[in-house]
């Protein structure tokens, strides 16, 4: 997609603070975090939302969830959310499928 910001981030045309990536997925810090940990995980291939991704590219969906879970385990205490917004009414603002990894307690804050 020509005007998709996440496609441009996946293509490395727009810089992002990348956390990790695989052949199919890319994870980076959200520029407007809602929690101490707020990382976005996207498929490198454009799909408008997670429902479309699940219907058309299950290999990308599985890879995205596996990468997101691995990152969440690395950066959080083990309690985290991996959420997807689908559609305007659900709060989706960028129409490229993406998961939000969020947690209130980074691993390094636990004593």
Catalytic sites, residue numbers? 98
Cα 3 to the chain's mean position, in Å? 19
Q: Which residues pair with 27 in a beta bridge?
A: 20, 41
- Contact status, residue 39 vs residue 28, Cβ threshold 8 Å: yes
CA distance 104 to 99: 17
């Amino acid at each position: 997609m020509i005007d998709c910001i996440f496609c441009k981030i996946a293509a490395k045309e727009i810089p992002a603070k990348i956390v990790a990536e695989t052949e199919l997925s890319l994870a980076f810090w959200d520029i407007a975090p809602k929690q101490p940990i707020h990382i976005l995980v996207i498929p490198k291939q454009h799909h408008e939302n997670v429902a479309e991704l699940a219907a058309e590219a299950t290999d990308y969906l599985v890879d995205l969830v596996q990468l997101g879970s691995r990152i969440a385990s690395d950066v959080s205490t083990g309690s985290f959310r991996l959420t997807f917004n689908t559609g305007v009414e659900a709060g989706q603002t960028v129409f490229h499928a993406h998961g939000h990894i969020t947690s209130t307690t980074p691993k390094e804050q636990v004593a």
